Structure 1
Amino acid sequence: MSVLFGSKEYFKGIPQIKYEGTGSDNPLAFRWYDEDRVVAGKTLKEHFRFACAYWHSFCNDGNDPFGPGTHLFSWNAKADPVDRAKEKMDAAFEFITKMRLPFYCFHDVDLVDYGSDIRENDRRLQALVDYARQQQAASGVKLLWGTANVFSNPRYMNGAATNPDFLVLSHAAAQVKTAIDATIELGGDGYVFWGGREGYMTLLNTDMKREKAHLARFLHMAKDYARRNGFKGTFLIEPKPMEPTKHQYDYDSETVIGFLRQWDLLDDFKINIEVNHATLAGHTFQHELQVSADAGVLGSLDANRGDYQNGWDTDQFPNNLNELTEAMLIFLEAGGLQGGGINFDAKIRRTSTDPQDLFYAHIGGMDAFARALITADAILSSSGYKQLRKDRYASFDTGKGSAFEKAALTLEELHAYAIESGEPPRVSGRQEYLENMINRYL
């Protein structure tokens, strides 16, 4: 496949990735992700709406706190920031189309380098939006969501929407406005807010009540601006408990839901769950999915994983089939995502320095999700999984239990019922049986 624009091919010798089935030994082919396979009434492509994370795939050079980057990008040669960004976009769309990914996601500063002049930054981003519109039209690739990076620049060291300096908040608003404009112009399905520094390092210098009120006001302003300008998509908040701050106000899904409900934002916002953020909050991915699904705000997913031995956000590609299968059980029973897709917010390792490594990573992640979904569907349709869970709560389906759920009993009546019925029997939760069931279907 040739590039869509420009004169170079950046991933030479790598063909478009195709489905070859479980019998294939080709590392540059899908073994499970057949995008046209129908599972639970939808094709895999419709279920997942996979997206490429622009920042990790084309901006991450492999640097870490102990050394500079190890990934050398041939698209970073030009001096002019707009010309350099266009070459990067050529490489990005070559990769995305070779991977047959239907969507991509970006931060504003991923598309083009920003400086300190707002008007110049706006000009640069508009130039890349114009170029992206051409790339999208030529490839059929769409924008899943856009966002503004209002956490990396030194001005945001004390936060953006929660910064104690009003001028810094104003700079964040200017950046968000332009990112929203770009998202609208490119037909994005959603717009994401991640509060990378919306929190505190110490309460000694923090008015937390005031900061959270400022954050709510900021979100209302951004939401109202986008709606006035024709944005009909989904607003998403991505929870994370800490890192880079000690405590972030979007700690986990429960915290975000409470915040949205308190500030009358629940009708417009849903949650973008990241696997590694869930584990940093002391939860499982499954827990965060269930919390969001139960509240009707399961919007989108950032697919990755952490390292069990590291206490930070390692953003590795997902490969744990057991955990993904449990997650896909919740995904299917919730009816899938609302207004989002699955974005590979993951980066290849510092030591993975070949162009093929980016392909291997995405192929593995897509195959893992496909296999997990197929397995989860088989469990839901062919095993006793759903009946076992239903039976566990059968005492609430009739009689006094049903009356309790309908608010038709008093505390005195529950007291009398407990005396009349005597000590309850011990009923097994059959956890090991259910865990073995997952393994039998894998």
Structure 2
Amino acid sequence: MEALPKLRRVLAAAALAVAASVVCLVAPAYAATGLHVSGTKIVESGGQPFIMRGINHEHTWFTNQTSSFAAIKATGANTVRVVLSGGRWTANAASDVANVIALCKQNRLICVLEDHDTTGYGEDADAYTLDQAVDYWVSLKSVLQGQEDYVIINIGNEPIGNTNPGQWTSATAAAVSRMRSNGFEHLLMVDAPNWGQDWQHVMRDTAQTVLDADPRHNTVLSIHMYAVFNTAASITSYLDTIAAKGWPLVIGEFGWQFDSGQVDDQTLMAEAVKRGLGYLGWSWAGNNDPILDMTNNFDPTQLTTWGKRIVQGSNGITVTAREAAIFAGTGPTTPPPTGPACTAAYSVTGQWSGGFQGDVKVTAGTAAIHGWTVSLTFPNGQQITQAWGATVTTTGATATARNVSYNGSLTAGASTTFGFLASWAASNGPPTLSCTAV
């Protein structure tokens, strides 16, 4: 796990938070290959806006939890931020990273890959430098090239602690420059110092130097919001300042307000939705501080209080996420009909001897719906054994999936997903689908 539990780090940062001055500069940006920055926003290669709505997954410590990708997708998320290590913990080799990318694509998730080795450099003696992080990305270049439509590279997680955070500017600029000189054309993400929370405002005041170091002008800043941002005013002030500078920003990590000293997650999500900013909550499961887990033991049917807030809330993932346009047409779809109706699209996201993982996307027609039921009639004796995002009953060859409390109401044209695990034997043909709505 992490050498220093995240909750301890964020509380320590909050205790040290101080005010800083505001400097107003504007950074121009222009289009690049694949996902890229346009002005202050992220857009896809076709020019479609893309706003991250997603969840962090601690893959490097739980490499066997591959079903989490489908489970995260089932929340409606369009992005997963994946924790990797180049050697501070058991290294994720190129083959593993290639599989992670494949899992993201199978589940129609944009993949933010981050190197966690750099966490707390300068304060944590075990932390790697950003230069070492670039070495790791270079070692993975063969599996990253050509994935610019699907993969964002977060060079180093929380790369500077609270000791000498001013070093962030030159170190991050150098890392960005090295990534480009090594031929990476991906959208790059750079985390703030102070364990990501920037309470001394180094990133807020000097990020123009980092953005200017990218000849492709294709770098987005990432702020991590925990206890430093425990009031609405602290959140809006920081976001207002970055917006005034014309800099692209995402909220790459945040927790929830389980007591008055913690981040005001409700304001954070509402402001992100209002401003069109991406957010990625920390984290699906596996924390040393389990209060930050969104699920109990990676079980998508057991959302915690935090999980329910970020998935089911009025500004949460299910309501506000929109799938990346690059995935359009990757599964069988039917144009949504008029009236209170719905359609269902089925895909197999993983298969092994005797079992497989499926995903169903439910889309409302030209009118809002308040509930849906999907019938799946399997041709080869397949049986659903576990489901998330829907309540499933089975009669003979037909499985009937009904919405759960948080994903039944959809506005016209909106979508949600549910996933399942199932058994198969001689063959695994697709089911016949039908969708009814109320």
TM range (shorter): 0.3 to 0.5
Larger gyration radius, structure 1 or structure 2: 1
TM-score (norm 1): 0.46
Q: Which has the higher helix share?
A: 1
Q: Which has the higher strand share?
A: 2
